[in-house]
Every structure is written in structure tokens, then in C-alpha cells.
């Protein structure tokens, strides 16, 4: 149970650093006073005792940092400080902030669009049962394969008893009124 309590206290100190800072300062000052009193009991003057106590502790700021790390999650504490610093810097230069936000938005949007297409075309399985059993027929004429088949060929494939079902689809390669250029440069009508 003490470990759970310590965990929540450390988490609390990440988000309430002023309270933890006051406690650390108060504790270090009390330790400093105790060490100073010990030196004074040994017969050292108060000024020399204060200096010797500071040397014994090893520097107030360094000791505070060590205690901060022990009383908080150093990673979360550093992340919190870095976020505050980054937001402060962005507020100081709004032009750069706008460019950075727009760049991130465009990059995230482009990645999302590309992944959506790849996911729909390549990664998602087809919307039919037993997609691995699907086959594609092509017609071979003169050594060239073509996915275009005549209606009679489709009827023959459909009548085959080895096939469970046959479906046909048509690609609309170009609009019917589009003009294309032939091999010799003459315009052709589709």
C-alpha cells in the first residue's frame, strides 16, 4: 500500500510542482539549520557554520533537483516543462506557429488519405466469402492477353459445372465523347 500511495503522490507532484517545491525548500532549510547548529555546538562561528553547512549539503539547487527527481516522475516532469516552454515559444512567434500547424495538418491529412486508399485497395479483404477462391479470366488472342471477353465466352464460363458462380464487370476506361490520337496522329472517336 505505501508504494501505491507514493505513486499517487509523485503523480500529484508532477501537476502541482509549487507545493512540492515549497516542501523541498522547507526541508532543505531545516536540514541546513540542523547542520549549522551542529557546527555551532562544535565551536564554529555562525558565519563559518552557515558556509560549512552549505558545503556539506553540496549546493541548494543541485540537492533540490535530486529531491525533485525522487518526489516526482522525472520524465513526466521534464515533458511538462518542455510542453510549457514550447507553447511559450509558439506564442512568441505566431507566424511560425501557423506554418508549423498547417504543415502538420497537411502531412497528417495526406498520410490519412494515402493510408485509406492503401487500406481499401490492398489490405482489406474483398467483400465476398472465400476471396482466395476467386479467379480472373482473360482472353488470349494472338499472344496478347486481354481482360475483355465477349458475351458468348461469358455464357460458356457460366455454364461450366466446375464453377460455383460467374460474374462480369466492365471498366469505363474513357468517356464516350473523348478524343484520342491514334498511332499516325489522326484523331479517333471512342
- Find the length of the chain: 190
The answer to whether position 125 is within a domain reads no
Cα–Cα distance for residue pair 84/135, rounded to 1 Å: 59
The answer to whether position 67 is within a domain reads yes
Residues 85, 9 within the same domain = yes
pLDDT recorded at residue 181 = 43
For the chain, percent of residues with pLDDT exceeding 70 = 74
Cα–Cα distance for residue pair 100/94, rounded to 1 Å: 10
pLDDT recorded at residue 169 = 66
Residues 24, 82 within the same domain = yes
Residues 136, 77 within the same domain = no
- The reported pTM is 0.38
Grid coordinates of 60: 541548494
Residues 10, 73 within the same domain = yes
Report pLDDT digits (tens) over 15-52.
676 777 788 788 888 888 888 888 888 888 888 888 88
Write the CA distances from 50 to 39, 57, 136, integer angstroms.
8, 11, 90
Residue 187, strand partner residues: 181
Residues 74, 11 within the same domain = yes
Q: Which domain holds residue 140?
A: 131-169
Answer whether 68's CB lies under 8 Å from 20's CB.
yes
The answer to whether position 65 is within a domain reads yes
Report pLDDT digits (tens) over 127-176.
777 777 777 777 677 777 666 666 777 777 777 767 777 777 665 554 44
The answer to whether position 121 is within a domain reads no
> Which residue reads 490492398 in cell numbers?
122
Longest dimension (CA), the chain: 116
Q: Give the number of domains in the chain.
A: 2
Amino acid at each position: 500500500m505505501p508504494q501505491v500511495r507514493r505513486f499517487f503522490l509523485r503523480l500529484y507532484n508532477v501537476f502541482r510542482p509549487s507545493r512540492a517545491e515549497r516542501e523541498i525548500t522547507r526541508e532543505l532549510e531545516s536540514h541546513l539549520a540542523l547542520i549549522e547548529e551542529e557546527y555551532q555546538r562544535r565551536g564554529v562561528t555562525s558565519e563559518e557554520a552557515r558556509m560549512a553547512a552549505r558545503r556539506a549539503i553540496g549546493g541548494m539547487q543541485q540537492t533540490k533537483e535530486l529531491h525533485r527527481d525522487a518526489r516526482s516522475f522525472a520524465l513526466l516532469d521534464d515533458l511538462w516543462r518542455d510542453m510549457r516552454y514550447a507553447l511559450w515559444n509558439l506564442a512568441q512567434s505566431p507566424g511560425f506557429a501557423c506554418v508549423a500547424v498547417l504543415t502538420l495538418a497537411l502531412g497528417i491529412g495526406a498520410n490519412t488519405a494515402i493510408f485509406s486508399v492503401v487500406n481499401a485497395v490492398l489490405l482489406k479483404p474483398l467483400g465476398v466469402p472465400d476471396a482466395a477462391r476467386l479467379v480472373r479470366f482473360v482472353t488470349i488472342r494472338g499472344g496478347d492477353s486481354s481482360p475483355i471477353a465477349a458475351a458468348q465466352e461469358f455464357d460458356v464460363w457460366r455454364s461450366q459445372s466446375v464453377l460455383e458462380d460467374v460474374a462480369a464487370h466492365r471498366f469505363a476506361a474513357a468517356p464516350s465523347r473523348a478524343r484520342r490520337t491514334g498511332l499516325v496522329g489522326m484523331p479517333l472517336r471512342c
